[in-house]
Amino acid sequence: MTKHIPNLITALNLFAGCVGVYFAFQGEYSIAFLCIMLCAVFDFLDGFTARLLKAYSEIGKQLDSLADMISFGFLPGALVFSVLSAGGLHFFTAFIGFLIPVFSAFRLAKFNVDERQSTSFLGLPTPANAIFWGGLIFSFSDVLVQYPIILSIFVFIFCLLLVSELPMFSLKTKGFSWRENKTQYIFLLGCIALIALMRLNAFAPIIAWYIVFSIALSFRKEKKL
What integer pLDDT is reported at residue 112 of this predicted model?
Answer: 86
What integer pLDDT is reported at residue 171 of this predicted model?
Answer: 86
- Between 42-46, 48-52, 146-150, 166-170, the lowest mean confidence (pLDDT) is in 48-52
Cβ-based neighbour number of residue 160 at 10 Å = 13
Q: What is the mean pLDDT of the chain?
A: 91
Comparing CA positions, the residue from 69, 52, 67 lying closest to residue 15 is 67
| Comparison of pLDDT for 26 and 88, the residue scoring more | 26
Say if residue 39's pLDDT is above 80: yes
pTM of this structure: 0.93
Residue 180: DSSP 8-state: T
Own/partner long-range contacts of 216-224 (Cβ < 8 Å, ≥24 apart)? 217/167, 217/169, 217/183, 218/166, 218/167, 221/167
What integer pLDDT is reported at residue 220 of this predicted model?
Answer: 80
Pick the CATH number of 2-167 from 3.90.950.10, 3.90.700.10, 1.20.120.1760, 3.40.50.80: 1.20.120.1760
What integer pLDDT is reported at residue 172 of this predicted model?
Answer: 80
Say if residue 225's pLDDT is above 70: no
What integer pLDDT is reported at residue 10 of this predicted model?
Answer: 94
Say if residue 116's pLDDT is above 80: no
Q: Could you give the dihedral angle defined by the CA atoms of residues 135, 141, 144 and 148, in that order, rounded to the nearest 10 degrees? A: 100
